[in-house]
Structure 1
Amino acid sequence: MVKFLRASKLALLLGSCLYLLACQNSDTPPVAEPPKVQASASEPVDLTQICENIQHNMQQIDNTRTTFALEQINQDLKVCLPLLPLNEQLNLLNLSTQMYQRFLHVERSAAEQAAFDQHAFDMAQHPTIQQSHFENFALRDQYLLKHKGQAYLELYDAGEAQLVYRRSPQYLAIIFAPYMPDAEQIFIERMANDNMQHSLRDGGLTLDAADLTERALFWEDYVQRYPKSHFIRDARYLAEVYALLLFKGTVNSPVSQDYVDEYSIQPAVLFEIKKLAKLQKSPLAQQARKFLAFLHMSSEQRLTEIAAQPTAREQREYGDDALVHAQLHQYLNLKNISIHAKRDCFSDAVCITR
């Protein structure tokens, strides 16, 4: 009996020690908690679900949604874009443009439109003016004006006393460009930088001759360097537009009226063209050399060497000087392109069809 009690006490003592040891071990934090391991293992599944749903979620954004919804989409895009091939990235880029267009669309009554137009006029005259008659704006205008600066929303002065909402050009440069191949990344980042400010305003140029030359050379080089870029068509258009603006300007900001000689050219433009003419292996430089040669031609030489007839548009815009403009256009092989076409390349980081 005594032996049994001793054995029982020994068993109890051993059990107590094991219990205390177990308690002590349970208080020691593990190196890696199982829940964390499981969460990490499930993360790819969550990412897959987010990326599978993102197109649907983007298509649900309209002008009844909030900036919070946009910001959530943009966070999801940052997660998904690095995982996708270029064609799927470009599809999401197009969807993002459509998403913002829907989000920024405002339905206004005649009275609400008048109030907004008055606000645009006041802002054009006094950019720091406070919003007047805010309660007369459409409810969506009130919301967007309160939240501009969020989710890449901007109120943009489009000229001629027109205020419009737009997605900041920096949106694509920040959200999309870092995850794209070099050609597409460079295109978007350059456009975002150039289009933060106006290039054209109220029919006139806001760029000086040096800026025009630099941009024309950049896009010429881009076309040669990245012929397979998804944006190659728009890059060619931009190279042609900036060449046209450099050598001819616009109707409201002409390089010259009659191109009689060097003294008829804006001095800053002539200076840049002479610098440009010294470059080698550049189609734009060849045009610059021909431009200078054109200025030294007499009227008779031009008639003999250049068979050109002014278009109806040139006659309308330049009147008695329409012929010389047509001759210059043909001699330099400038493209007949419209700067104010339905495809806008001057307000976002990609060209957008309106």
Structure 2
Amino acid sequence: MQKNKIALIIGASLLFGITACQPPADKTDPSDATSTSTQTATPPSTQPLIEAKTPKQLTTALVDSSADRLREQLICSKLDDNINAVDHTSKIESLRAVQRQLAACLPTADNAEILQWLVDYQAMYARFLQSDSSIDDEDFFTVMSNVEQGKSIAVAQLRKISPRARYLIGLIRSNADVSIRYMGANDFEFHHDLSAMADIFTPYLPDDQSEFIQRMAQDNQELFWFDAAIAFSFEELVERAVFWEDFMKRYPQSNFYNDAKALFDTYRYLLFFGSENTQWFDDDLRKFYLPADERLMMQLTERTDSQLAQDVQKLLVFMQQSDDERHQSYPVPDKDENGRKINAWQVTHYQLGQALAISSPWDSVRARNCLHGIICVDETSQ
């Protein structure tokens, strides 16, 4: 009897260790995460251990569970190699194989492994969607325009573009997780569903990281720039700036805090200075072009403990100042950093920058790219 008690105690301890590694019950299965229909591997079940009634049944269940664990470890040891092997010559089946491996490995991986796989998976998809067609290729532009508009494509047209472009277009037509989007300047790119990508990883990340990549997926699904203009509305710009300011307050210890701040700084700058082809104010910075934009900006002043609220209040003071008051408070150099004479438009925006104490996020070399994908990456890795 003593041996039986020992065996059962050992079995119960192992059962606790195994069940403690399983994903939380309220998290979704990542096999449902992608729009591509694939079969996914699942972690070994602990049901045989739970149902074991005798030492023999328990021993058998433990052996089976150990074998499953060994198979899982073998699968996960090959995951990095399989991700890195996918490139612009690979087929969709290679992506599906990686997705099945991730489904098996994510539940028991530590946070550092998960984040690295996320970075690698994002880079893998970018390689997979590369096409060797040039933006100067008129045939490629014609075919891509027809695909984007849902028009039919003649076989003769398809023969004029590269085999890889034909393959990716075939994936679009078969409703795989591939799409196209127009970049402006007669340029298209193949793209994919960022939310589906995020859904693979979010069940296994802490709240701050999960929220971060889900928001990145939402914001970066569409273009950020289009012909030197901001590709989304002023209302959305305000909402994004507010989101990242609030994110930093909710998660001050997040390992994504610096990336969130970089995003906040970008949206904060664009709120007040726009872009080359997007402006919210008249040239003298005396009034808003649209009353709706002014109302949205005024709403920011109602935020408590907010950098944005302080910025808007300074903006309103600046807009009421005369030219003489501005020159007295914010003297402007005669020439810019390139030695060229500063024009009137530059003078006004230089003074606003001094009034708000906001510098352009593009004044210095940006080490991180947060405007594509679901996680920020080093520029050198692009």
TM-score relative to the length of structure 2: 0.74
1:131 maps to 153
Shift of 1:70: 0.3
Equivalent pairs: percent with the same residue? 26
- Work out whether residues 75 and 101 of structure 2, in 8 Å CA contact, stay in contact via their aligned partners in 1: yes
Q: 1:350 aligns with which of 359, 364, 375?
A: 375
Q: Which amino acid aligns with 1:305?
A: S
SS at structure 2 position matched to 1:136? coil
1:283 to 282, 307, 316: 307
- Secondary structure in 1 aligned to 2:191? strand
CA distance in structure 2 between the partners assigned to 1:143 and 1:267 by the alignment: 48
Residue identity in the other structure for 2:291 = P
Tell me, yes or no, if the aligned pair for 1:67 and 1:150 is still in contact at 8 Å: no
Structure 1: unaligned runs, 5 residues or longer: 1-30
Cα distance in 2, alignment partners of residues 111 and 185 from structure 1: 36
2:358 matched residue in structure 1:
334
Q: State how 1:1-354 maps to structure 2 within 5 Å.
A: 37=61, 39-108=64-133, 113-120=137-144, 127-132=149-154, 133-148=157-172, 152-262=177-287, 264-309=288-333, 311=336, 319-338=343-362, 344-352=369-377, 353=379, 354=382
Separation (CA, whole Å) in 1 of partners of 2:122 and 2:113: 14
TM superposition shift of 1:191? 1.1
Aligned residue for 2:159, secondary structure, equals helix
Deviation at 1:94?
1.9
Q: Deviations over 1:173-228 (max 9, x none)?
A: 11112211112111100111122233432222343332221110110121233233
What secondary structure does 2:232 align onto? coil
When residues 70 and 162 of structure 1 are mapped into structure 2, their CA distance, relative to the original with a 3 A threshold, is same
The letter for the 2-side match of 1:135 is R
Q: For 1:294-325, what per-residue CA distance to the aligned partner results, in whole angstroms no more than 9, with x for missing partners?
A: 11111111111123447458989x94311001
Report SS of the residue matched to 2:78. helix
Distance 2:340 2:219 in 1: 32
1:214-247 Cα shifts (integer Å, max 9, x gaps): 1101101212332333332321121111112222
Is this contact kept in 1: 2:217–2:373, CA < 8 A?
yes
CA distance in 1, matches of 2:337, 2:145: 34
Give, as a single letter, the amino acid of the residue that structure 1 aligns with 2:197: L
The Cα shift of 1:268 comes to 2.1
Number of equivalent positions:
319
Q: Which of structures 1 and 2 has the bigger CA Rg?
A: 1
Tell me, in whole angstroms, the C-alpha distance in 1 between the residues paired with 2:234 and 2:136.
41
Pairwise CA distance, 1:72? 1.3
Gaps spanning 5+ residues in structure 2: where? 1-52
The SS at the match of 1:303 is: helix
Shift of 1:281: 0.8
Contact kept? 1:343, 1:351, Cα under 8 Å: yes
Q: Secondary structure at the match of 2:90?
A: coil
What is the TM-score of this pair, normalised by structure 1?
0.79
Matched position secondary structure for 2:190: strand
Task: State the alpha-carbon separation in 2 of the partners of residues 256 and 250 from structure 1.
Answer: 12
SS at match of 1:229: coil
Q: Alignment partner of 1:165: what SS?
A: strand
Which structure dedicates a bigger proportion of its chain to helix? 1
State the Cα distance separating 1:39 from its structure 2 match.
Answer: 4.6
CA RMSD of aligned residues (A): 3.2
**Residues 260 and 194 of structure 1: CA distance in aligned 2, closer, same or farther (over 3 Å):** closer
